Amino acid sequence: EAGVAQSPRYKIIEKRQSVAFWCNPISGHATLYWYQQILGQGPKLLIQFQNNGVVDDSQLPKDRFSAERLKGVDSTLKIQPAKLEDSAVYLCASSPTRGGTEAFFGQGTRLTVV
Amino acid sequence: GQNIDQPTEMTATEGAIVQINCTYQTSGFNGLFWYQQHAGEAPTFLSYNVLDGLEEKGRFSSFLSRSKGYSYLLLKELQMKDSASYLCAVPYGGSQGNLIFGKGTKLSVKP
């Protein structure tokens, strides 16, 4: 079974630039999550999708972050414009159902904002 | 609100046993997860406890006490490859919960 795929693996941008990350969840998984993991900390949920609908985006900085999952499969996370404090690993995860089951994580995209 | 505490770092010797503790405060309990994360890699699922007691899975065991808001991960016969961060996480939002993660415990296994 293929795992959660993310790209790119690494990205370096200057502050105020834009960046986008892509995620392809495990086939058949209805729930998709984007997490932000700052160095030395645990992952922090940014947004959760159930199929193509947003379930929870309460911790997403909506002035600069946006995410979509148009066809209920792939998802993209965008930052526009980036700030220095956005430097982190952005993890995508998927699970078959909401809550109570394990989430499977992708390798993440390491973003460095300079 | 939700709050999760775990030690920042631990060191243990190859072949030994180590216990990583996690205390949590959450409104509405829906189980507790442990994940392992090697440096630069994705977190991988280790265990899920929803009832009190000890669950054993090979060299790894996880314990939960809901009344005390406490869990621990027990690693036996430590191997060098067990050097990683161990993340405690609890769902929030009722049965539809997303995961709130602790900051993780970085375990270093020495020869």
B27 min Cα distance to partner chain A (Å): 15
- Residue B102: which of A42, A103, A107 has the nearest Cβ? A42
Cβ count within 10 A of residue B35: 26
The residue count for chain B: 111
**Which tokens belong to B51?**
């009832």
| Interchain CB contact of A58 with B (< 8 Å) | no
Residues with Cβ within 8 Å of B3's Cβ and at least 6 positions away in sequence, in order, are B24, B25, B26
Q: Tell me which chain A residues have a C-beta less than 8 angstroms from the C-beta of B102.
A: 42
**Residue A45 and residue B41: Cβ atoms within 8 Å?**
no
State the Cα–Cα distance between residues A82 and A19, nearest whole angstrom. 8
**Residue B98 and residue A45: Cβ atoms within 8 Å?**
yes
| Interchain CB contact of A38 with B (< 8 Å) | no
State the Cα–Cα distance between residues A25 and A104, nearest whole angstrom. 9
pLDDT tens digits, A74-108: 999 999 999 999 999 999 999 887 655 788 999 99
**Residue B96 and residue A98: Cβ atoms within 8 Å?**
yes
Name the percent of chain B lying above pLDDT 70.
Answer: 95
CA–CA distances in Å: residue A52 to residues A23, A56, A75, B4, B52: 13, 12, 9, 30, 36
A108 min Cα distance to partner chain B (Å): 7
Question: Residue B50 pLDDT more than 70?
Answer: yes
Cβ count within 10 A of residue A6: 25
Among residues A113, A112, A109, which one has the least CA distance to residue A35? A109
Place of tokens 């027990």: B74
State which amino acid sits at residue A89: V
What pLDDT was estimated at residue A52?
86
State the Cα–Cα distance between residues B29 and B11, nearest whole angstrom. 31
What pLDDT was estimated at residue A1?
62
State the Cα–Cα distance between residues A11 and A34, nearest whole angstrom. 17
